[in-house]
């Protein structure tokens, strides 16, 4: 019985010592000065709309790196909020890595279409439907959509499913279908909204390509691709005024 009691006491003392060591070690770690910051920014192109050096400067200032602030003073949640406040940053996070260095990773939004409203102002839209304000710092090379769009241009990110962005989901759907087809992506320059329907502007083609609504989008794209590939480099399509994709299994052409 005495042996059992002594064994329990030993285990309690050992556990207490471990806790004390852990607390002391953690306090020592948290009191350690921050030694540096590594900022990693994932962008879809070599030049994006987020200026890496400027953002790193903001992070260093917030963390008071100049005065080697303690690790315990680093506000990770505040850093994340500061980064994601930039409408062009999709996600961000960080952790303390080796050598007491703060590692920050951020990812820039990847827009797939640029849409102009009737007032001539534009927004970018990502594949997930996030609307991003126009940035004068960098203009990605994207397919353009214009015409009967009456949406306001937001200062921050917005959701395309909001009713004020009528027509944007359809334009994004058509743009994604074009982007998924390298041939069409190299030949279609614009998407035009006319009322509730859409037209496509094909490079070096004077005819209006009437797309209609977004029903059977992939089928319409395939028919258009077949036509363009067949008559590429010829003058066969020059006499035509319109190429209509609205009808199933055919393209109705008018002179």
Which one is predicted more confidently, 207 or 233? Answer: 207
**The domain that contains 64 carries what CATH number?**
3.10.20.310
Measuring CA to CA, how many Å separate 116 from each of 43, 54, 59, 193, 249? Answer: 24, 29, 34, 10, 32
Residue that wins the pLDDT comparison between 39 and 4: 39
Question: Domain boundary residue among 108, 127, 153?
Answer: 108
**The last residue of a domain, from among 91, 108, 125:** 108
Q: Domain total for the chain?
A: 2
Rounded Cα distance between 108 and 42, Å, is: 6
Q: Is residue 96 part of a domain?
A: yes
Domain annotation covers residue 83:
yes
Residues 130 and 81 in one domain: no
Which residue in 200, 189, 204 sits closest to 235, CA to CA?
Answer: 204
Condensed to tens digits (0 to 9), the pLDDT of residues 134-179 reads 888 778 889 999 999 999 988 889 999 999 999 999 999 999 999 9
55 and 181 in a single domain? The answer is no
The reply to whether 186 falls in a domain is yes
Give the structural domain span for 138.
111-254
What is the pairing mode between strands 188-194 and 143-147? Answer: parallel
Cα separation, 130 vs 140, in Å, equals 16
Structural domain ending residue among the three candidates 108, 136, 157: 108
pTM higher than 0.75, yes or no?
yes
Cβ density class 198-209: b for 16+ within 10 Å, e for less:
bbbbbeebebbb
- Burial, 49: exposed, middle or buried (Cβ in 10 Å; 0-12, 13-18, 19+)? buried
**Residues 134 and 97 both lie in one domain:** no
Domain co-membership, 247 together with 141: yes
Are 193 and 77 within one domain? no
pLDDT per position as a tens digit, 59-80:
888 877 767 777 777 787 888 8
């Amino acid at each position: 019985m005495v042996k059992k009691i002594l064994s329990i006491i030993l285990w309690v003392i050992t556990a207490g010592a471990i806790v004390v060591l852990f607390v002391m070690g953690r306090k020592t770690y948290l009191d350690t000065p921050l030694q540096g910051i590594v900022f990693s920014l994932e962008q879809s192109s070599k030049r994006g709309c987020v200026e890496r050096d400027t953002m790193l400067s903001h992070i260093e200032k917030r963390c008071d790196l100049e005065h080697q602030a303690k690790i315990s003073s680093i506000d990770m949640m505040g850093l994340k909020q500061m980064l994601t406040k930039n409408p062009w940053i999709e996600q961000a996070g960080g952790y303390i890595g080796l050598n007491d260095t703060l590692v920050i990773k951020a990812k820039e939004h990847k827009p797939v279409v640029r849409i102009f409203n009737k007032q001539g102002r534009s927004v970018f839209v990502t594949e997930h439907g996030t609307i991003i304000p126009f940035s004068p710092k960098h203009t990605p090379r994207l397919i353009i959509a214009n015409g009967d769009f009456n949406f306001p241009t937001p200062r921050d990110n917005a959701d395309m499913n909001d009713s004020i962005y009528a027509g944007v989901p359809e334009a994004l759907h058509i743009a994604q279908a074009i982007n998924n087809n390298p041939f069409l992506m190299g030949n279609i320059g614009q998407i035009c909204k006319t009322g509730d329907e859409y037209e496509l502007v094909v490079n070096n083609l004077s005819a209006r390509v009437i797309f209609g609504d977004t029903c059977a989008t992939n089928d319409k794209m395939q028919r258009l691709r077949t036509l363009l590939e067949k008559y590429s480099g010829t003058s066969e399509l020059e006499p035509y005024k319109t190429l209509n994709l609205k009808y199933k299994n055919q393209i109705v052409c008018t002179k």
